[in-house]
């Protein structure tokens, strides 16, 4: 058993202690991610399990546009983002199939969707109050992108009194290198697991 395995919370919290947050679930973000098959497979497990166990789950869309920044800085950040996109994995013949399957897991038309004007999910006052009134101590984070929104919200979960779990096969980014580097950093301050770990505990 390696050091990371020994340091894991044991056991994984029960479903009634958990809120699952899906961050920036859009076709565009999914299409730009490198681990499409893993993301779809993770959702194939998570969504039915959420329905089966009554886990609280929420969709939230955040913004990283730089609220209050000068236009020149915003343009610079946009340029940096375009440079990141150059490291995207090449397209695969399977991409169309995975995109079609992922579309089944987008929020439904009448689903509650929370909006935050910053990259912090707690920037949505409504979502922040809902989470704090839920009586649940753990937040499971899924979505896009791991080195930016997921990383940021691991910190803000801790700042707001929640312990964050990152579901590694339900998050992604443009490149494999950035993905694994980000997960390595996140594992130092949060719990990084995948749906196989949840299957062992939750069935």
Quick check: helix, strand or coil at residue 13?
Answer: coil
Query: Which pLDDT score, from 0 to 100, does residue 182 have?
Result: 96
Residues 6+ away with beta carbon under 8 Å from 192: 165, 166, 168, 183, 186
The model's pLDDT over 12-41, given as tens digits with 9 standing for 90+, comes to: 999 999 999 999 999 999 999 999 999 999
The model's pLDDT over 42-83, given as tens digits with 9 standing for 90+, comes to: 999 999 999 999 999 999 999 876 666 677 766 766 666 666
**pLDDT of 89 strictly over 80:** no
Query: Which pLDDT score, from 0 to 100, does residue 73 have?
Result: 66
CA angle, residues 73, 145, 18, in degrees to nearest 5: 130
Range(s) of the domain holding residue 26: 3-202
Q: What is the mean pLDDT of residues 1-7?
A: 47
The domain spanning residue 188 has which CATH number? 3.40.50.850
**pLDDT of 175 strictly over 50:** yes
Query: Which pLDDT score, from 0 to 100, does residue 6 have?
Result: 44
CA angle, residues 154, 156, 160, in degrees to nearest 5: 120
**Domain tally, the chain:** 1
Length of the chain, in residues:
203
The model's pLDDT over 92-132, given as tens digits with 9 standing for 90+, comes to: 778 899 999 999 999 876 678 999 999 999 999 999 999 99
**pLDDT of 5 strictly over 60:** no
pTM for the model stands at 0.88
Other CB atoms within 10 A of residue 22 CB: 23
Query: Which pLDDT score, from 0 to 100, does residue 87 have?
Result: 67
Query: Which pLDDT score, from 0 to 100, does residue 92 have?
Result: 74
pLDDT above 90 coverage of the chain, percent: 74
**pLDDT of 8 strictly over 70:** no
The model's pLDDT over 129-167, given as tens digits with 9 standing for 90+, comes to: 999 999 999 999 999 999 999 999 999 999 999 999 999
């Amino acid at each position: 058993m390696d050091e990371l395995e020994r340091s894991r919370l044991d056991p994984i919290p029960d479903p009634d202690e958990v809120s699952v947050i899906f961050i920036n679930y859009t076709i565009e973000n999914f299409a730009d991610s490198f681990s499409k098959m893993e993301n779809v497979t993770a959702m194939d497990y998570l969504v039915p399990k959420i329905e089966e166990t009554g886990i609280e789950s929420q969709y939230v869309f955040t913004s990283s546009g730089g609220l209050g920044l000068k236009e020149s800085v915003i343009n610079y950040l946009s340029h940096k983002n375009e440079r990141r996109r150059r490291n995207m994995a090449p397209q695969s013949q399977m991409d169309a199939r995975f995109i079609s399957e992922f579309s089944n897991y987008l929020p439904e038309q009448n689903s509650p969707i929370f909006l935050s004007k910053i990259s912090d999910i707690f920037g949505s006052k409504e979502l922040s109050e809902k989470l704090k009134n839920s009586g649940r101590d753990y937040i499971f984070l899924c979505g896009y992108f791991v080195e930016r929104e997921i990383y940021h919200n691991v910190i803000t979960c801790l700042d707001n009194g929640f312990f964050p779990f990152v579901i590694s096969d339900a998050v992604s980014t443009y490149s494999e290198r950035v993905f694994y580097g980000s997960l390595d950093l996140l594992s130092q301050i949060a719990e990084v697991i995948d749906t196989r770990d949840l299957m062992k505990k939750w069935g």
